[in-house]
Amino acid sequence: MEDDAGFTLVDLIFSMTVMMIVTAVCTSSLLSMYRTAEDVDSQSAAQAQAGLVFQRLDREVRYARGIADTTAAGAATVDFLAVQGTSEQCLQLRVTGGVLSQRTWAYGESPINPSPWRPLAYGITTELPFTYLPPDDVFGHQRLRITLSQGASANEATFTALNTDRTSGNDYCAAGRTP
- Give the three-class secondary structure for 109: coil
Residue 56 within a domain: yes
In a domain, 51, yes or no: yes
Cα separation, 122 vs 48, in Å, equals: 12
* 50-75 pLDDT per residue, tens: 788 888 888 888 888 888 877 545 56
**Total of domains in the chain:** 1
Give domain status of residue 27, yes or no. Answer: no
* Cut 0.85: pTM above it: no
Which pLDDT value is given to residue 16?
Answer: 93
Of 79, 81, 82, 66, nearest to 134 by C-alpha is 66
- Distance CA(80)–CA(130), nearest Å, equals 12
| Low-confidence residues in the chain, pLDDT < 70 | 1-4, 71-75, 176-179
What Å distances lie between residue 95 and 23, 39, 105, CA to CA?
Answer: 47, 24, 18
Domain that holds residue 54: 39-176
The answer to the question of residue 48 being in a domain is yes
Q: Where are the beta strands (DSSP E) in 16-123?
A: 64-67, 77-84, 87-96, 99-106, 118-122
Q: Is residue 167 part of a domain?
A: yes
> CB 71: neighbour CB atoms within 10 A?
23
